[in-house]
Chain A
Amino acid sequence: MRQSLWRGYCVTFRLFSNHRVYGCSLQPVGQNYWITALPTLLIWTTLFVLTDKMASMLMNSLRCCPPVNPAWAVQYATRSLSTSVQLHAQVQTKSKKTLAKPGVKNIVLVEGVRTPFLLSGTTYADLMPHDLARAALQGLLHKTSLPKDAVDYIIYGTVIQEVKTSNVAREASLGAGFSDKIPSHTVTMACISSNVAMTTGVGLITAGQCDTIVAGGVEFMSDVPIRHSRKMRKTMLALNRAKTLGQRLSLIGSIRMAHLTPELPAVAEFSTAETMGHSADRLAAAFGVTRLEQDEFALRSHTLAKQAQDAGLLSDVISFKVPGRDTVAKDNGIRPSSMEQLAKLKPAFIKPHGTVTAANSSFLTDGASAVLIMSEEKALAMGYKPKAYLRDFVFVSQDPKDQLLLGPAYGTPKVLARAGLTMDDIDVFEFHEAFAGQIMANLKALDSDWFAQTYMGRKVKVGAPAMEKFNLWGGSLSLGHPFGATGCRLVTTVAHRLLKEGGQYGLVAACAAGGQVTHYTNTSSYFNVMDRKVILPVCVSGPCDGDRSIPPVEQDSGRTEMMQEKTVYAYTQSGVTPTLSDCTY
C-alpha cells in the first residue's frame, strides 16, 4: 500500500513536472514513474534558469540571432511607429483584388481577445477551464460593448476536456453573463480546435442560420483528468450496482495493487503510439533541419515576441484578475535566451542524437481566446468597425505517422489556389509554431520542387513564405500554446498585423494531431484564413493600439471610424478594389 502511494505521488509529480514542456512525457505510461520523473524535472529547471537570465540576455540575443535581421528590425520599428511612405507606395503598386465571392456573404472579424497565456501551473493553477473561457468572453464583451443578448451562437474549441464541464462553451457563456437563450457547443480537433470553432461559425453565417457568432478556444493544462485504472473503474461501477453487503465486500476484496495505478493522459498519438515531440524530431531529421536552425528559430520567436510585448503590439491580450491571485496582464512564457544557452539543452524526445529540445518546442500553456465574427451587414448595422474579412479556409489531413505535423505544407498551396493568390500576394503569415523543427520542415517542404512533385501532385513548389512577413510578433513557441485557444490567437494576430503593417492579405496555418487524451486520431489538419485588410493604415492608430485595460473611450472611436469604413465597403462590394486614394478621408 505504501509503495503504491509512493508511486501515486510520483505519478502526480511526474505529470506536473512534465507539463512544463509540451509533449515531454514521452515515456510509456505504466512503468518506472520514479525513474522518468527525474530527467523531466531537469529540463524544467533548466528553463527557469533561462528565465532568470532573460533580461540581461536580451540585447545579446538580438545580435546573435541570424533570422532577426537588424536591417528589417529597424525598418519594422519605423513602420510600427507611423505609416511610412514606403509602405503606402508598396500597397499602391500591387494590383490587389477583392476575394469576395458572388452570392456569398462577406464575413468579418470584428474583434479578437485572449487572456494572457501562462505556463501551466502558474497563476491560473487553481482555476477551472471554463473560468479562463469566461474571462476571454467577458473581455470580448467589454472590448466590443456587445449587448449580451445580441449573440446568436457561441462555439468553443478545447482539447483536453474537464469532465465536469464537457460542454465548456455553455458553462463559460452562462458564467460570462450571456443570455441563457444563446445556444453553445464545444468542438475539438486537437491544436486547431478553435479554428474549427471559427469555421463552424463561418458556416452558420454562410448558411444563413446566424449573423453574430462568438467563437473561441480554451485549454487548461494546470489540471488534467487523471483516471482510475480500467480495472478499478470496472470494480467501482460494479460496486454501484451491487445489492447486498456480501456482493460489495467481495468486490472490495477483489481490489488489487494493480487496480490503484492511475491512468495518465498519454501524450502519444492514439493510432501510432508516438509522442508528438518524437514525431517532430523525426520530421526535422527527414527534412535535414539542424539543431542550430531550430534553436535559431526558437530564439527568433522569443525575441520577436518580447519586442511585440514591449511595444504593446499584443493588443488582443486582456488583463484578467485571477480570483485569489494578482491581476495578470502579460504572457509569461516569453524568455529570449542566447544561442549558447539553448545549445546546452539535451534533446527531449529522441536521445541522445535528437534535435528537438524543451527550448525549441512549445510549452504546456493555460489560456483562452475569443473572437466576434459577424456577417458584414450585421456588423455595419450594429455600428462596428470590422478588422478583417474571413475569406477562405481549407482542412487537409495526411498520414498520422510520418506527416503528422506537415499540414501547413499541404494546406497552404491549396488555400492559395482557392483564393487565386500566390505566396507573394500575402502580406502577413501566421503559422502555428508547435516545434521549431516542425516549422522549419514545413518551410523546406514548401520550398522544395521535389516534395511538391512527389507528395503534393504539383508541378512546381509554391515557395516558402518570406521570413520578414512571418510570425513577426512571436508565435506558439514563445507566447505559449494552449491547444484549444491558439487558432483564435493566430487569426486575431493576422488582423492586427495587417492593420499595423498595412498589408492586405494574411494567411494562417496550423498543424494539429491526435490530441493528448482525446481519441482524436485525425492526421495533421490544417486551417487557413484569408484576411483582407479593410481598414486603412491611417485609421489604424485609434482602436488597435488598445491596451489590455480597456479604455472606455475606445468604443466611441471605433464607432466614429465606422462611418469611414462604410464607404470603403461599398466600394468593395461593388467589386472595385479600394486603393489608397479611396480611403484618404
Chain B
Amino acid sequence: MFSYISCRTFSVAPAMSARTHVNYEVKEDVAVIRMNDPTSKVNTLSVQMQNEMIEVFNEVLANDAVQSAVLISSKPGCFIAGADINMIQACNTSEEVTKLSQEGQKMFARIEKSPKPIVAAINGPCLGGGLEFAIACQYRVATKSKKTVLGTPEVMLGLLPGAGGTQRLPKMVGIPGAFDMMLTGRNIRADKAKKMGLVHQLVDPLGPGLKSPEERTIEYLEEVAIQCAKGIVNKKISLTKEKGMMQKVQDYVMGIEFVRQQIYKTVTAKVMKMSKGLYPAPLKIIESVKAGLEQGPDSGYLAEAQNFGKLAMTSESNALIGLYHGQVACKKNRFGVPERPVKNLAILGAGLMGAGIAQVTVDKGIHTVLKDTTVEGLSRGQQQVYKGLNDKTKKKTITSFERDFTLASLTGQLDYSGFEKADMVIEAVFEDLNIKHRVIKEVEAVIPPHCIFATNTSALPIKDIAAASIRPEKVIGMHYFSPVDKMQLLEIITTDKTSKDTTASAVAVGLKQGKVIIVVGDGPGFYTTRCLAPMLAEAVRLLQEGVDPKKLDALTTGFGFPVGAATLADEVGIDVAAHVAEDLGKAFGSRFGGGNVEVLKTMVEKGFKGRKSGKGCYVYTPGLKSKDVNPDIEDVLEKYKLTPNPLVSSDSDVQYRLVSRFVNEAVMCLQEGILNGPVEGDIGAVFGLGFPPCLGGPFRFVDTFGANKLVEKMRRYEEVYGNHFTPCQLLLDHAKDSSKRFHK
C-alpha cells in the first residue's frame, strides 16, 4: 500500500511540479484543463503558458481514459486576457513576430482539429489571443457575469488578431460581424456573444451558497462544461448548428463574390474615412480576411502572420502599446491608500461639469450631494444625471431598478445642510477667483476637519484659490474634462502645501470614478490647458490669416486629432477659450501670443460662444449632424485680418505650426517639473486633449519624429513669428543628442 502510493507520487510528481501555469485532472472521461498564471492577476498567453498548454494537450490526447476536455481558468475573474504584449515587444524584426504568430496559429490549428472535443468554459475577460484560443475549441460555454467579455482588442494596439482570429471569426460570426469585432476591438458581453454565435451556451453567475459566489460559479461553469463535453462525445449535442432562414439567406448572399467585394470596398472606405489612413492595422485586418476568404486558408493564415509581423514593427503600434502601458500605469494610485475612504461627496455647482461629476460618482456607491444656488440650475443638473443613467437603462446596461437605486444616493439641495458629514467637496462653480474664494470660505465653515476641498478649474492656479483657505493642505485641484461621463482623463493638481494623504484620497476617488489620472504640479493652466492654449492661439492666427474653419478642421484631423481645432474651440466654448487665453497670456507673456484675443472676445460679445450657444465657428442646428461655417464670423475675421507668409503656410506647415507649439509646451511642462514624467504627459495629451493616439502623445512624437527635425521646423517658424516658436531647453537638448529619448 505504502509503496504503491510512494511509487505513484514519484511518477506523477516531477511532471506536476514542473508545471506552474497549466494543469489538468481527469473527471470520469473528461480532462479538465485549468489555467492559472501564478505571477499575475490575469492569465496571458505567455511563452510558459503556451509551452505548458502544448504539453498538457499532448498528454490529454495520449491519455486513452480521456474522451473530451474542458478548458477553464482557475482565476475567478479572468479566462485569458490576451497574448503577452512583452512577448511581441521583445522581438526586433517583423520576421520574429511572424514566427510567433505562426506558432500560435499552429497550436490553435491542432486544438481545432483535436479528435477529442474541447469545451472552453469562459468566465471573465476572454480577449485577444484568449478569444482566438476559445474559438479554436469545438464548443464554448460562458458565464453571464458582467466581467465576462469577449473581443479582439488587437486593433487598439495597432495589431491584428494574429493567431487565426482573422480566419476563424468571419466563418463563425459572418463577415460583417467579424469586421465589426476586429476593426472596433469592442468588448462583447456574453449574451450578445451568444446571439452572434460566438458562444454556444450561457451559464448564470451564482449567488451565495455553500461556497463563495465566485468560487461556486466557476465550479458550476465547470460542471456544465463537463456535461457539454460528454454531450458532444455521446452525440447528444451536435456541433453543426442548424441554420435559421436568415442565416441561410445571409450565407447565400455572402457566397456571391461580387457582394464580398462590395463589403471589402465599403469597409475599407469607412476605415479610411475614420482613420484618415493614419492607422495601418485596420487595413491589414481587411487584407488578411480577404486573403483567407478569396484565396483559401493557406494564404489567409500566411497573410495574417506576415501582416502581424509588419504591424508589430510600426511606429503606430509602438505608440498605441505605449499608451496602453501608460493607461495601466495611470490607473494606479502611486500615493498609497488614503487614511479614510471618501463615502460622502459634495459637489458645488450643478452645471454641466458638476452634474457630470455627480453622474460618475453616484453609481460607485458614494453618497453624493449636488448643491447649486438656484432651483433651476439644480433641476437641470439633476435631470442631466437622470438622463445619463436612463440612457444606460435604455441601452440595457443597467436595469431601471439599478438606475433608481443609484439615484437614491444623490441628494440635490440649495443649502449646506449635511456638509458636516462630507469627506470631500468638489467645487465646480464659475471660473472666477473671487467666487471661488467666497465658496471656499463658506464651505470651510461647515465641513469637518478631515474633509478635502477639491477645486475643478481649468486654468486658475490652485495656490491662488487655496490662498483663501484656512487649511491649504486639504486643498487640491481636480480638473475634469467635459463631458465628464465620456472623457477618461482626470488631471489632479497639487500645490506645495497639499498633503500626500489629500492627493492619495483625490486619486482614489478619481480611480473609483473610472478615470485615467495624471497628477501634475501647480501653475497657470497646469499641464493640459497650458498645452492647449498655444495651439488654440495658433489656430486663431490661422483663422485670421484666412484659413477657413473647415480647412483648419480637416488639417488637424488629417494629422490625427479626433476633433478639428475650430470644432474643439466650439466644444470647449469660445468664452472659456478667450478667458483662458487672456489669463495664460498674462501669466506667460508674449510666448502665448499668436492670434489676437480680441477675435475671441468679439465673438463672445456677438453671442458666438460655441456649441452651447448654437453658434461659434460653426452654426449648430439641433437635430442636425452636419454643420455650416458661421457666416457672421467672416466680418470678425475680416476686421482682424493678417496676411499669411507663404513660406510657412503650406498645409503641412499649418499642421506643424499647431502641433509644434503644443509639443513644445508639453516638453516645457516636463522641464519645469509640472509633469511627473513623459508617460503622464502622453496620457494627458491623448486622453484629455485628443492628441493623435497614433503618435502616442507629444513625448513619443518627439522620440519618433526626431527632436532635431522638430526644432528645425520650429526655427523656421520662429524666424517669421518670433518667440511663439522658440524651442524650450529640454527639446534643444534632445535635438542635440539623438540618443536622448523620453521613452526608453
Which A residues contact B (CB, under 8 angstroms)?
270-273, 278, 281-283, 285-288, 350, 352-353, 399, 401-403, 406, 441, 444-445, 448, 450-451, 454-455, 521
Contacts and interface: CB of A to CB of B under 8 A. Distances in A.
Given A271-B399, A272-B401, A286-B216, A450 B211 contact: yes
Interface string B48-87: 0000000000000000000000000000000000000000
Given A271-B399, A285-B216, A288-B210, 16 more contacts: A270-B401, A271-B401, A273-B401, A282-B204, A283-B209, A285-B209, A286-B210, A286-B213, A286-B220, A287-B209, A399-B207, A402-B213, A441-B209, A445-B209, A445-B210, A454-B212
Contact of A282 (B206, B211, B399, B401): B206
Given A353-B224, A353-B227, A454 B208 contact: yes
B573 to A, nearest CB: 40
A283 B207 contact: yes
A450 B210 contact: yes
Contacts of A270: 401
Contacts of A271: 399, 401, 405
Contacts of A451: 208-210
Contacts of A353: 201, 203, 224, 227
Question: 6 closest A-B pairs (Cβ-Cβ)?
Answer: A402-B207, A286-B209, A271-B401, A286-B206, A287-B209, A353-B224
Interface in B175-210: 201, 203-204, 206-210
B207 A273 contact: no
A287 B206 CA distance: 9
A547 B201 CA distance: 53
Nearest to B237: A352
Contact of A273 (B211, B212, B220, B399): B399
A174 B229 CA distance: 63
Contacts of B201: 352-353
B206 A521 contact: no
8 contacts: A270-B401, A282-B207, A285-B206, A286-B209, A288-B210, A352-B201, A353-B227, A451-B210
Contacts of B399: 271-273
Interface in B390-411: 399, 401, 405
B238 to A, nearest CB: 13
B575 to A, nearest CB: 42
A451 B224 CA distance: 24
B210 A287 contact: yes
A450 B213 CA distance: 13
A403 B401 contact: no
A451 B227 CA distance: 28
A284 to B, nearest CB: 9
A455 B212 CA distance: 10
Given A270-B401, A353-B227, A521-B401, A448 B210 contact: yes
B208 A402 contact: yes
Interface in B214-261: 216, 220, 224, 227
B208 A286 contact: yes
A285 B227 CA distance: 14
A285 B220 contact: yes
A444 B208 CA distance: 12
Contacts of A450: 210-211
Interface of B: 201, 203-204, 206-213, 216, 220, 224, 227, 399, 401, 405
A282 B224 CA distance: 13
Given A353-B201, A353-B227, A402-B213, A286 B207 contact: yes
Contacts of B213: 286, 402
A496 to B, nearest CB: 34
B76 to A, nearest CB: 15
A521 B216 CA distance: 26
A403 B210 contact: no
A283 B399 CA distance: 21
Which of B204, B211, B224 has most A Cβ within 10 Å?
Answer: B204
Nearest to B211: A450
Contacts of A455: 208
B500 to A, nearest CB: 36
A517 to B, nearest CB: 16
Given A285-B220, A353-B224, A403 B204 contact: no
Contacts of A521: 401
Nearest to B231: A352
Contacts of B206: 282, 285-286, 402
B210 A401 contact: no
A450 B405 CA distance: 30
A325 to B, nearest CB: 42
B200 to A, nearest CB: 11
Contacts of A445: 209-210
A293 to B, nearest CB: 14
A342 B85 CA distance: 53
B730 to A, nearest CB: 55
A335 to B, nearest CB: 29
Contacts of A402: 206-208, 213
A513 B570 CA distance: 52
Contact of B207 (A278, A403, A444): A403
Best-buried of B203, B204, B209, B227 by chain A (most CB within 10 Å):
B209
A520 to B, nearest CB: 13
Contacts of B207: 282-283, 286, 399, 401-403
A283 B216 CA distance: 11
A291 to B, nearest CB: 11
Nearest to A286: B209
Contacts of A350: 204
Contacts of B210: 286-288, 444-445, 448, 450-451
A423 to B, nearest CB: 19
A129 B458 CA distance: 65
Nearest to A281: B204
Nearest to B225: A353
Contacts of B216: 285-286, 288
A138 to B, nearest CB: 41
Nearest to B401: A271
Among A285, A403, A454, max chain B CB count under 10 A is at A285
Nearest to B402: A271
B60 to A, nearest CB: 23
Which of A273, A278, A282 gathers the greatest number of chain B CB atoms within 10 Å? A282
Contacts of A441: 209
A282 B399 CA distance: 19
Contacts of A288: 209-210, 216
A23 B216 CA distance: 26
Contacts of B212: 454
A273 B213 CA distance: 20
Contacts of B224: 353
B142 to A, nearest CB: 13
A416 to B, nearest CB: 21
A504 B203 CA distance: 45
A403 B227 contact: no
A444 B220 CA distance: 17
A208 B209 CA distance: 43
A353 B227 CA distance: 8
Contacts of A406: 208
Nearest to A270: B401
A271 B400 CA distance: 8
B212 to A, nearest CB: 8
B308 to A, nearest CB: 38
A548 to B, nearest CB: 42
Contacts of A282: 204, 206-207
Nearest to B219: A288
B15 to A, nearest CB: 31
Contacts of A273: 399, 401
A403 B206 CA distance: 10
Contacts of A287: 209-210
A179 B224 CA distance: 60
A287 B405 CA distance: 28
A554 B682 CA distance: 91
A301 to B, nearest CB: 23
A521 B405 CA distance: 12
